[in-house]
Amino acid sequence: MGCFEVIVLDTHIWIWFNMDHPKLPAGLRERAPEFAISVVSAWELILLVERGRLVTGFEPAETPVKWLERYPVRVLDLDYEAATLSRTLPFDHEDPADRFIAATAFRHKAPLVTNDARLVGLPWLMKG
C-alpha cells in the first residue's frame, strides 16, 4: 500500500490505535504523515464509553479529548457535502455513522482504514 497525505481511521481502528490493540494493522502508524478521524468517530466513542461497552478510564465526553492529546489526529467535520454524499453514494446498508465516516473519507479523497466488511466492499471507497 502506498503512502498517502492523510489516512482516515474508522472508529474501531481509532480505538485500536489508542488502546494498542493487537488487531491494529501492522505498520499502520508509519503509513501516513497524518491521520484523521471523522467527528462522527468521536461521537461513537462517547456512546461506547457511556454505554459501558468500552472502558477507557475517562468520562465519556473526556475520552476523545484525552485520546487526541495522546495521539493527535486531524478531526474532519461533517459538512454539507459529506452529509449529502452519505445519501447519494451507493451503500449496502443504512448505518448512518458508517455512511458519514465513509462519505467524509471520500469527500477528502483519503483512504479509509477499516475492517468493516460492509465498507471494505464499497467500490468507490479508497482502502487504507
Q: Report how many domains make up the chain.
A: 1
Cβ within 8 Å of residue 79, ≥6 positions away: 107
Q: What is the CATH number of the domain that holds 71?
A: 3.40.50.1010
pTM score, whole prediction:
0.94
In-domain check, residue 1:
no
Placement of cell 448512518 in the chain:
96
Angle between helices 96-107 and 80-88 (to 10 degrees): 120
Full residue range of the structural domain in which residue 30 is found? 6-120
43-60: pLDDT as tens digits: 999 999 999 999 999 999
Please determine, for residue 128, whether its predicted confidence score (pLDDT) is greater than 90: no
70-126: pLDDT as tens digits: 999 999 999 999 999 999 999 999 999 999 999 999 999 999 999 999 999 999 999
In-domain check, residue 102:
yes
What is the rounded CA–CA span in Å between residue 78 and residue 75?
10
Give φ, ψ of 77 to 5 degrees. Answer: -70, 155
In-domain check, residue 88:
yes
- Under the banding of pLDDT at 50, 70 and 90, the label for residue 1 is very low
In-domain check, residue 127:
no
